[in-house]
Amino acid sequence: MDYEKLSLPNYNIPDDIQNAVAITTLDRLYNWGRRSSVWPLMFGLACCAIEMIAAQTARYDLARFGMEVMRPTPRQADMMLVSGTVTKKMLPSIIRLYNQMPEPKYVVAMGACASSGGPFKEGYNVVAGIDKFLPVDVYIPGCPPTPQALIAGLIKLQEKIDKESIKTVRWYNKEKFDGNYVPMPILGPDLIDVRRNAEIRDIASAKATQESA
């Protein structure tokens, strides 16, 4: 199905009124308006950011996909492009930016480091993938991925947007609780995910019981 066009392909519109009449659904109209107006958050973490910058040049022309308007503030952005190595010291700031972004919002992990830690996976100061904390929509492999790979990943994000429905998307639910909110991790001797407090407490209690036995 060609989502680039607004009209549904199973309706034959006469040629003389092709540009004046469109037959479609509300979901398709809603997604058609969003798919080519995604505003990425303007920040880079490591070498993948150089490829992200290159993708914005005239040679690759991200404006074709409506994603060239990179915003300097999270309150005007709806896509977080994590381009580079995520260190434990940087992670709390990234999560703070994510929580400030309004819905609908998406996360793209660009490169091996953002996806899984890359060559620094077992490093003491590196998070083994941003998906440990944030819900990632698209992974772009490579170290670093080329601008062409980034564009391919953004096209995949558009395909995901095309398939969403107003009836099921999380930002239109009537619950007052924000299920997509990510609690701020605590940076101490190591990075502590507060969502695992109960698990950590149980492990510590079991260890203390074994030592006292």
Statement to judge: residues 64 and 168 lie in one domain: yes
Burial of 131 (0-12, 13-18, 19+ CB in 10 A): middle
Q: Are residues 153 and 207 in the same domain?
A: no
The pLDDT tens digits for 70-105 are 999 999 999 999 999 999 999 999 999 999 998 899
- What pTM does this model have? 0.83
Which of the two residues, 170 and 126, has the higher pLDDT score?
Answer: 126
The pLDDT value recorded for residue 203 is 86
Report which DSSP code applies to 17.
G
Section 25-42 average pLDDT:
87
Please give the residue range of the domain that contains residue 94: 36-182
160 and 201 together in one domain: no
Are 139 and 48 within one domain?
yes
Same domain, yes or no: 75 and 175 = yes
Would residue 1 count as lying in a domain? no
Residue 9 lies in a domain: no
> Binning pLDDT at 50, 70 and 90, where does residue 1 land?
very low
CB 35 within 8 A of CB 67: no
Q: Do 93 and 192 fall within a single domain?
A: no
Same structural domain, 61 and 118: yes
The answer to whether position 82 is within a domain reads yes
Identify whether 29 is part of a domain: no
Count of domains forming the chain? 2
User: Same domain, yes or no, for 127 and 213?
Assistant: no
How far are the Cα atoms of 57, 127, 185, 187 from residue 197, in angstroms, in the given order? Answer: 45, 18, 11, 14
